[in-house]
């Protein structure tokens, strides 16, 4: 029997929820569906759905954006990036260029793209130019980037890789503020690639309820129902439930995982607003170093890293929003100085950013 959103809602409402239950999500797509469908207002008050570090563009370190800007502005590079990276602002003096979109408006060669294959096509169209593909993303997106490199790319195409693994950020949140969360809704398309089993540590190590969800209200409410049931059973019985079985298997897409492992090694990485997380990012393996923009432009990267740029803009609460410590409308800038039209922090820019999602759905009261 296929249950629908209203069936799950009914079941959720039948629970007696004695105290606050905070359910973390780590996927911008989940947050968008939750917010746009208005799920929070349909759930009992004690149940909180908390957006966390679910936006790869938001956690992309400022040094990487500065390097991309420098390459496009000063090194004659043709820079390609996923579209939602273009408007992400860095801290810059007023009057200085603050985003790739501004650099593009001033004539820098910057191309938004929707697929790694477009980067390959761009490099073929411009055989005499150095093309750099600035690639931020989680595992779901990194697998296609790895596939692109594994399949072979033109000599003039390099990758400025800013990929991240999602689970280390969840592990950090649970290590440092375990009591803040009672359950996790695990990201559906990350799990499609990496397998539901990647999230077993959540229930096994932290005794936190977990369910993998898809992106529809049905699947998200099934996950909410599942984690509540896990949490409220006596004694609590935590495991990783799969509420997105149409796409997610226990072990995931093994070919994609082999491809990731063949092309990338896993390294310690900086997350904007969060800090360095061990084994949480990707770097190109030596066999692909001819296409590694960080090696080709090592001098520029060193210079930018030494200038030690700031992390989040002053007054901006994006860091706390990414850590699940504040809701977007609890930021003093939300809706005042910071709107999608005049973004201060990255969470107000990306389609995956919690602030942008809340604002776009009409939650304007700060």
Partner 1 sequence: MCLAIPMQVVEIDGYNARCEAKGISRDVSLFLLQGEPIIPGDHVIVHVGYAIQKISAEEARSAWELYDAIL
Instruction: Rounding to the nearest 10 degrees, give the CA dihedral for residues 285, 287, 289, 291.
Output: -110
Q: Which of 195/335 has CB closer to partner 1?
A: 195
Q: Quote the least distance from Cβ 235 to partner 1, whole Å.
A: 34
Cα–Cα distance, 336 to 351 (Å, whole number): 19
Per-residue burial over 259-295, b = 16 or more CB atoms within 10 Å of its CB, e = otherwise: bbeebbebeebbbbbbeebeebbbbbeeebeebbbbe
According to the binding rule CB under 8 A, does residue 57 interact with partner 1? yes
Contact flag: residue 116 with partner 1 (CB under 8 A): yes
Structure tokens that stand for 319 in this block: 């860091």
Q: Which of 181, 215, 271, 288 binds partner 1 (CB under 8 A)?
A: 215
309 binds partner 1 (CB under 8 A): no
Nearest-5° Cα angle at 89, 116 to 69: 60
Phi, then psi, of 109 in degrees rounded to 5: -85, 95
Q: Which stretch binds partner 1 (CB under 8 A): 51-59, 62-70, 155-163, 225-233?
A: 51-59
Count of alpha carbons within 13 angstroms of residue 32, beta-carbon side:
17
- Closest distance of CB 65 from partner 1, Å: 16
Distance CA 274, CA 328 (A): 16
- Residue 254 DSSP one-character state: H
Identify which of residues 28 and 313 has a Cβ nearer to partner 1 in the complex: 28
Residue carrying structure tokens 């398309």 = 189
Q: Is 193 in the site for partner 1 (CB under 8 A)?
A: yes
Specify burial of residue 308 (Cβ count, 10 A radius: 0-12, 13-18, 19+): exposed
242 binds partner 1 (CB under 8 A): no
Nearer to partner 1, 37 or 366 (CB): 37
Beta bridge partners of 163: 137
Size of the site for partner 1 (CB under 8 A): 47
Q: Which residues pair with 49 in a beta bridge?
A: 23
168 is a contact residue toward partner 1 (CB under 8 A): no
Residue 346 lies near partner 1 (rule: CB under 8 A): no
Report the residue number, 82 or 264, with the smaller CB distance to partner 1.
82
- 187 contacts partner 1 (rule: CB under 8 A): yes
216 binds partner 1 (CB under 8 A): yes
Closer residue to partner 1, CB minimum distance, 51 or 335: 51
Verify binding: residue 37, partner 1, rule CB under 8 A.
yes
Among 198, 218, 241, 292, binds partner 1 (CB under 8 A): 218
Residue 141 touching partner 1 (CB under 8 A): yes
Distance CA(152)–CA(34), nearest Å, equals 39
Contact 25, 191 (CB under 8 A): no
Residue 195 contacts partner 1 per CB under 8 A: no
Check binding of 147 to partner 1 (CB under 8 A).
yes
Distances (CA, A) of 361 to 35, 37, 192, 305: 7, 9, 27, 37
Q: Provide, rounded to whole angstroms, the least separation between the CB of residue 211 and partner 1.
A: 17
Hey, which residues between 244 and 303 contact partner 1 (CB under 8 A)? 246-247, 253, 255-256, 259
Report the Cα–Cα distance between both ends of the chain, in Å, rounded.
42
Question: Which one of 138, 225, 288, 297 is in contact with partner 1 (CB under 8 A)?
Answer: 138
Binding site for partner 1 (CB under 8 A): 2, 27-29, 33, 36-37, 55-57, 82, 84, 114-118, 136-138, 140-141, 143-144, 147, 150-151, 187-190, 192-193, 214-218, 246-247, 253, 255-256, 259, 350-352
């Amino acid at each position: 029997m296929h249950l629908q959103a209203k069936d799950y809602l009914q079941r959720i409402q039948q629970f007696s929820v004695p105290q606050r239950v905070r359910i973390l999500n780590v996927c911008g797509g989940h947050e968008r569906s939750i917010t746009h469908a208005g799920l929070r207002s349909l759930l009992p008050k004690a149940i909180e759905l908390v957006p966390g570090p679910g936006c790869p563009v938001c956690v992309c370190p400022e040094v990487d954006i500065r390097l991309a800007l420098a390459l496009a502005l000063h090194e004659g590079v043709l820079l390609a990036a996923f579209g939602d990276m273009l408007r992400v602002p860095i801290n810059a003096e007023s009057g200085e260029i603050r985003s790739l979109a501004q650099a593009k408006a001033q004539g820098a060669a910057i191309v938004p793209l929707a697929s790694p294959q477009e980067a390959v096509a761009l490099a073929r169209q411009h055989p005499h130019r150095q093309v750099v593909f600035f690639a931020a993303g989680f595992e779901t997106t990194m697998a296609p980037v790895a596939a692109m490199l594994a399949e072979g790319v033109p000599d003039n195409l390099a990758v400025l890789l800013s990929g991240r693994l999602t689970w280390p950020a969840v592990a950090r949140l649970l290590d440092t503020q375990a009591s803040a969360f009672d359950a996790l809704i695990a990201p559906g398309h990350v799990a499609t690639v990496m397998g539901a089993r990647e999230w077993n540590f959540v229930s096994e190590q932290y005794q936190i309820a977990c369910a993998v969800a898809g992106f529809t209200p049905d699947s998200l409410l099934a996950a909410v129902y599942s984690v509540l049931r896990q949490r409220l059973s006596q004694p609590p019985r935590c495991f990783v439930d799969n509420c997105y079985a149409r796409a997610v298997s226990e072990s995931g897409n093994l070919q994609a995982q082999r491809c990731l492992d063949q092309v990338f090694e896993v390294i310690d990485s900086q997350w904007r607003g969060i800090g360095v997380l061990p084994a949480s990012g990707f770097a190109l393996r030596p066999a692909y170093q001819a296409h590694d923009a960080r090696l080709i432009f090592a001098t520029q990267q060193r210079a930018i890293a030494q200038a030690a740029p700031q992390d989040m803009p002053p007054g901006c609460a994006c860091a706390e929003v990414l850590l699940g410590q504040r809701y977007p409308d609890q930021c003093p800038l939300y809706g005042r100085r910071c709107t999608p039209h005049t973004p201060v922090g990255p969470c107000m820019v990306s389609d995956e950013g919690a602030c942008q999602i809340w604002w776009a759905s009409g939650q304007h009261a700060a």
